[in-house]
Amino acid sequence: MRDARERGSLAWIASDIRSLLPGGSAGLMQLMYPPLGHAVMEHSAFMDDPFGRVYRSIPQIWATILKPDAPTRARHVRDLHRDIRGTDSDGARYHALDPDTFWWAHATFTWEMFRSVELFHRGHLDTSEREALYAETVEWYERYGVSTRPVPANLDAFQQRFTEVCCDELELTPAAAYAIDIAQRGRVGLPLIPDRVMRAIRPALKQPGRVVAFGCLPSDVRMRMGIAWSATDRRTFRMLTTAMQAGGSVVPDTLNRRALRYSLRRVGSRTRAARYRPAT
């Protein structure tokens, strides 16, 4: 796997703080996948603490890319999911380690890496860079030790399969409906910001938070879920992406990457006690 010094590499993208910006959209698409949506409702305190799952998970998942012991960390993440199973409201069984289910969760993170560059970086990846990046995301998935049966063979196949799931398989699960309502109301939770400060700045973050969460989504998903997206929303989203592209050119690269690593370490340390434990 290429390192963070090589433009377009998985490590290069994941160590840029802008890689997190489409994360809310990736999380929504996970909750829209029925087995994942049901599992979250039954095996976590999602309704009481909707942001907790995100902040417990992201430092662990990014570590499977960025840390020297990434393969070991990936297997640890896999093992956290061994006992997450059950039966949904229609009587269908689900298991978090079902290959199609586990791959879809990973696919949303693969999509997130491509989407962050597409929207928030100046200059797009060329065809060879995109193919190399996709190959790295497959290597990333292989670290988990879950069946690779659902993994598309190349980027074109991935894009086709991703679109099929978005158009034909995603549903407005109860978990997804709740998360969409949170985004519609502009609720934002930032784990490193004290509650009293968060209460003061939340009104200013409401509109940008909503627009980024819905703007990063594929248009097919917005339409399938009936998410309103006005001309004003499009203009606001375009202004935000332009500002992030410009900011990326101004902020020193070392500061950007140190900020991400610092944030992941701090969030990871604050959420460690609340994480799931591997099944034995």
Rounded Cα distance, 117 and 123, in Å: 8
Rounded Cα distance, 140 and 73, in Å: 11
**Are the CB atoms for 4 and 250 separated by under 8 Å?**
no
Q: How far is C-alpha 259 from the chain's CA centre?
A: 18
Structure-token pair, residue 26: 């990736």
pLDDT of residue 270: 74
Confidence of residue 110 (pLDDT cuts 50, 70, 90): very high
* Per-residue model confidence as pLDDT tens digits over 188-206: 666 656 667 767 767 777 8
pLDDT of residue 55: 83
Q: Where are the domains of the chain?
A: 10-274
Confidence of residue 181 (pLDDT cuts 50, 70, 90): very high
Confidence of residue 280 (pLDDT cuts 50, 70, 90): very low
Please compute, for residue 250, the number of CA atoms within 13 A of its CA located in the half-sphere on the CB side: 6
pLDDT of residue 67: 95
Q: Which residues contact 19 (CB under 8 A, 6 or more apart)?
A: 13, 112, 113, 116, 260
Structure-token pair, residue 95: 């298991």
3-state secondary structure of 85: strand
pLDDT of residue 193: 66
What's the angle, vertex CA 35, arms to CA 31 and CA 39, rounded to 5?
75
* Per-residue model confidence as pLDDT tens digits over 54-95: 888 899 999 999 999 999 999 999 999 999 999 877 788 999
pLDDT > 70: percent of the chain: 91
**Are the CB atoms for 182 and 50 separated by under 8 Å?**
yes
